[in-house]
Amino acid sequence: MLTFIMKPVSVLCNLRCDYCYNSNLWSKTKEEKKLKMDIRLLETFICQLSELDENSFSFVWHGGEPLIAGINFYEAAVGFQARYLKGKQYLNSVQTNGTLIDQEWAAFFKKNAFKIGVSLDGPKKIHDQFRKIFNGSGSFERVMKGIEVLKVNGFNPGIISVITKNAAKNVDAIWDFFVSSGLGRLNLSVCAEKENGKMASFSITPLGYASFMIRIFDCWMAKDDPDIKIQPLESYFQGLIGGRPTICHCANECAAYLALDYNGDLYLCGRFVGIDKFRIGNIMEKTLKSLLCSKKWKSLKGEIQASKKECLSCEWANICNGGCTYYRYINGQLLSSLNYFCSATKKILRHMKSAIMELDHSLSTV
Ligand code: SF4
Ligand code: SF4
Ligand code: SF4
């Protein structure tokens, strides 16, 4: 399956989160008032997908805030998919900050079988510390209102929770909040960004990240509730018991994740939009098929693989697979460095392995 992180409004957003990795591109929004993807560009792109040998696609509508594009834009998108992707499989999901969700959006998502992911960092005090609206006040109430509308319409949204330096100090409060709110489909997304060549103050350290994840893992094991699903712990768990980890960080599948910016620029993954090194080309200048056969794309994929040299001899290689490429990039600006969270991953996996072995031992002695 090929996944496309679709950026219909590029970095435009109705929020101003302090840790936003798009913030270095916000100046663009002043110069270019309209960053919305043109409908003809969208049609061209979906038509070009039909020319690929690939038979299944995942569209992840992302931002900025993707709902700013408006329902008509998405009506057009599902129309093009139905027209051009006959005989192919595809699914749609949207990653939203949740603040614009109302009954009309919920009905649209339901009718068109969209999966929903909402960004929420935990209880109000923790969420509002970084996730702010333009005037600097927190966005928690608006997000919870959006989630409520989704729940009323039968959705159990996935939650992306950003793990900052601050979150690491509040691990139990975060865990209790998600469990008591019945929001058990969690993706814990580590937060580490660079500002002026140094790690930004909100970034979590590898040590902080390891303690956070180990504590969450212990709570998860103690709770033993099959409805609580936590990434990347699920993937690590699957890997440790001999299965295949599913998330992109662990599955060595970066090249199956591409991002399409509003203007037709194609990148490796949404994490790299705006960084020229990772721009493969523009779909209005060359077809998607030719871009995916281009020298630039081949050499980028080669560089990603070559950058994992040190991982080849690692005992966790089959599970971690070098981790997220972005965190190798920010560790040295080039794709040659070890993952910024390598030491944390080793600690987490070591802890999980011994907990699983202990459990196995106690079960076999019952
Ligand atoms: S909601 Fe997302 S895109 Fe918008 S400011 Fe926050 S982190 Fe950035
Ligand atoms: S734990 Fe570190 S060395 Fe091992 S595979 Fe992951 S990034 Fe590579
Ligand atoms: S850069 Fe990271 S988030 Fe993006 S596809 Fe690769 S592993 Fe996944």
In this predicted model, what pLDDT tens digit does every residue of 79-110 receive, in sequence order? Answer: 999 999 999 999 999 999 999 999 999 999 99
Does 285 have pLDDT greater than 80?
yes
The reported pLDDT for the residue numbered 203 is 95
How does pLDDT run across 311-363, given as a tens digit for each residue? Answer: 999 999 999 999 999 999 988 867 877 899 999 999 999 999 999 998 877 76
How does pLDDT run across 71-85, given as a tens digit for each residue? Answer: 999 999 999 999 999
The reported pLDDT for the residue numbered 359 is 82
Tell me what the mean pLDDT of segment 122-133 comes to.
96
16 lines ligand 1 (CB under 6 A): yes
Spatial CB neighbours of 339, under 8 Å, sequence gap ≥ 6: 320, 322, 323, 324, 327, 328, 331, 345
The reported pLDDT for the residue numbered 321 is 92
Tell how far the Cα of 326 is from the centroid of ligand 3, in angstroms.
6
The reported pLDDT for the residue numbered 253 is 81
The reported pLDDT for the residue numbered 230 is 97
Does 134 have pLDDT greater than 80?
yes
Secondary structure (DSSP) of 170-216: THHHHHHHHHHTT--EEEEEE---EETTEE-TTPPPHHHHHHHHHHH
The reported pLDDT for the residue numbered 17 is 94
Does 245 have pLDDT greater than 90?
no
Tell me what the mean pLDDT of segment 208-224 comes to.
97
The reported pLDDT for the residue numbered 249 is 87
Maximum alpha-carbon separation in the chain: 68
The residue among 152, 158, 145, 148 whose CA lies nearest residue 228 is 158
The reported pLDDT for the residue numbered 118 is 98
- Percent of the chain surpassing pLDDT 90: 82
Tell how far the Cα of 327 is from the centroid of ligand 2, in angstroms.
12
20 lines ligand 1 (CB under 6 A): yes
Does 29 have pLDDT greater than 60?
no
Nearest-atom number in ligand 2 for the CA of 315 is 4
**Contact at 8 Å (CB) between 5 and 60?**
yes
pLDDT band at 183 (very low <50, low <70, confident <90, very high): very high
Atom 2 of ligand 1, nearest CA residue: 64
Tell how far the Cα of 154 is from the centroid of ligand 3, in angstroms.
30
Does 288 have pLDDT greater than 90?
yes
The residue among 205, 232, 203 whose CA lies nearest residue 216 is 232
Question: CA 162, CA 184: separation in Å to the nearest integer?
Answer: 15
159 lines ligand 3 (CB under 6 A): no
Q: Which helix (H) or strand (E) holds 258?
A: strand 257-260
- Percent of the chain surpassing pLDDT 70: 95
Does 28 have pLDDT greater than 70?
no
The residue among 113, 120, 119, 118 whose CA lies nearest residue 58 is 113
Q: What's the pTM value of the predicted model, to 2 decimals?
A: 0.94
Atom 6 of ligand 1, nearest CA residue: 17
The reported pLDDT for the residue numbered 331 is 86
| Ranges 48-62, 72-86, 297-311: which has the least confidence | 297-311
The reported pLDDT for the residue numbered 33 is 57
Averaged pLDDT score across all residues of the chain: 93
Per-residue DSSP letter, 98: S
Q: Residue ranges of the domains in the chain?
A: 2-305
The reported pLDDT for the residue numbered 196 is 85
How does pLDDT run across 257-284, given as a tens digit for each residue? Answer: 999 999 999 999 999 999 999 999 999 9
Nearest-atom number in ligand 3 for the CA of 326 is 1
The reported pLDDT for the residue numbered 60 is 98
pLDDT band at 31 (very low <50, low <70, confident <90, very high): low
257 lines ligand 3 (CB under 6 A): yes
Tell how far the Cα of 62 is from the centroid of ligand 1, in angstroms.
10
The domain 2-305 having CATH identifier 3.90.1150.10: the answer here is no
Ligand 1 pocket test target in 5, 7, 9, 13 with most atoms within 8 Å of CB: 13
